Amino acid sequence: MKKNILVIPGDGIGPEVTTWGKAALEKIAEIFGHEFIFEEALMGHAAIEVTGEPLPDATLEKARQSDAILFGAIGHAKYDNDPSLKVRPEQGLLKIRKELGLFANLRPILLFDELLQASSIKPEILRGTDILFFRELTGDVYFGEKTRSEDRNTASDLMIYHRYEVERIAHKAYQAAQQRNKRLCSVDKANVLESSRLWRETVQEIAKQYPDVETEHMFIDNAAMQLIKNPKKFDVVLTANLFGDILTDEASQIAGSMGMLASASVGESTGFFEPIHGSAHDIAGKDLANPLASILSAALMLEIGFGLKEEAKVLVDTIDQVLKEGFRTHDIADQNTNRFKVLGTAEMGKLVLK
């Protein structure tokens, strides 16, 4: 198989983790005889520094021409501390999601047995958990009109949904549920928000086309609680952009660490694969980041992007093996014991490749 892959390292720990996601893809190509052609491009703070734009046209052009994109992370403390800056790294990520029509963000909560102890949640609560989130990614308050009054004392963001936006992701989520445990939980705030009422109405309609899937509707506040109270009860979770952002980060504690979770954004054409962790400037360049989420992003690219299930499995199994052998990065090591061999980013990356 021949594929063009665009690598966008981005900001913070993005470059150092993406190195290993890319290396994993190269290794897979070598083993299975595929031809993966890599290009690289700028986005975020890294792009602003060079071009003044968070998403340069050249990056978007390359993105459109590639078969899949491996992304690192975005964001920089400078902008976080100064809300008044007009050009911001995150605009690059939001724009590429919109431009490529990446309306469905899939976030599987993959639980490695070996990491049950790394979570703040009790192992007996976690064991057996298997959740697949479908987060809507190109609508909601993320993309609605933003305003700031002239005196700068009033600011607003429009939370808005169109029926077709809910329909298309609902279909994807239901189809996935059919292949899994046939349960779908749609999360909204329909007791307060009109956009959530449209969301709920629409999901109720689509549900009729999937009578083999059991549908539940849950309010976001309750979902944030149930997710950690009893994660096993969830199978597919379908939700809006903002609620999905919050719930999936929360769910990272189920997997033991944010450093272990990858996501796939799909929609109209090219798929976009990235860790769910952020740019983590505080640890950037210190060889402390966990490269496993980037390698798992590569695995998602193989599986969801290219339909290469066996190749994806090799990566996941290798990570499982490395964990079984007691190797950990800082984020998933239990500081209180000497049970683990704690590795830096590069050592962990190399070990998985071996």
For residue 282, indicate whether it is catalytic: no
> Per rule CB under 6 A, is residue 106 in the interface with ligand IPM?
no
Is 148 annotated among the ligand-binding residues?
A: no
Q: Compute the least distance from the CB of residue 22 to a copy of itself, in Å.
A: 26
Give the 3-state secondary structure of residue 108: strand
Euclidean distance between CA atoms 97 and 272, whole angstroms:
8
- What lies within 8 Å, CB to CB, of 70 at 6+ separation is 5, 6, 7, 8, 18, 21, 22, 25, 273, 274, 294, 297, 298, 301
Q: Is 249 assigned a ligand-binding role in the annotation?
A: yes
The least distance separating a copy of itself from the CB of residue 174, rounded to whole angstroms, comes to 19
Contacts of 109 (CB under 8 A, 6+ apart): 129, 130, 131, 132, 133, 231, 251, 254, 255, 261
Q: How far apart are CA 228 and CA 28, in angstroms?
A: 35
Amino acid in the structure at residue 167: E
Position among 159, 289, 312, 333 found at the interface with a copy of itself (CB under 8 A):
159
Q: By CB under 6 A, tell whether 190 contacts ligand IPM.
A: no
Token pair belonging to 253: 């504690």
- One-letter amino acid of 52: G
192 near ligand IPM, rule: CB under 6 A: yes
Asked if 82 is an active-site residue, the reply is: no
Looking at residues 202 to 241 of the shown chain, list those that interact with ligand IPM (rule: CB under 6 A): 221
Q: Is 140 annotated as a binding residue?
A: no
| β-bridge pairing 262-266 and 104-109 | antiparallel
User: Is position 125 an interface residue for a copy of itself (rule: CB under 8 A)?
Assistant: yes
Is 97 assigned to a binding site?
A: yes
**344 belongs to the binding site for a copy of itself (CB under 8 A):** no
- What is the DSSP code string of 35-80? EEEEEE---THHHHHHHS-SS-HHHHHHHHHSSEEEEEE---HHHH
- Contact region with a copy of itself (CB under 8 A), list: 5-13, 15-23, 141-149, 300-308: 141-149
Q: How far apart are CA 338 and CA 324, in angstroms?
A: 15
Q: Write the interaction track for a copy of itself spanning residues 260-279; mark x where CB under 8 A is met and - where it is not.
A: ------------------x-
Q: Is 130 annotated as a binding residue?
A: no
Q: How far is the CB of 343 from a copy of itself (least distance, A)?
A: 21
Q: How far is the CB of 180 from ligand IPM (least distance, A)?
A: 23
CB within 8 Å of 269: residues ≥ 6 apart: 64, 100, 101
142 is a catalytic site residue: yes
**What residues are annotated to the active site?**
142, 189, 221, 245, 249
Q: Which residues bind ligand IPM (CB under 6 A)?
A: 74-75, 90, 93, 191-192, 221, 245
Q: Which residues bind a copy of itself (CB under 8 A)?
A: 75, 79-81, 83-84, 88, 90, 94, 120-122, 125, 141-142, 144, 146-148, 152-164, 189-198, 200-201, 204, 217, 220-222, 224-225, 227-230, 242, 245-250, 252-253, 258, 278
Please enumerate, by residue number, every residue annotated as part of a binding site. Answer: 97, 107, 135, 221, 245, 249
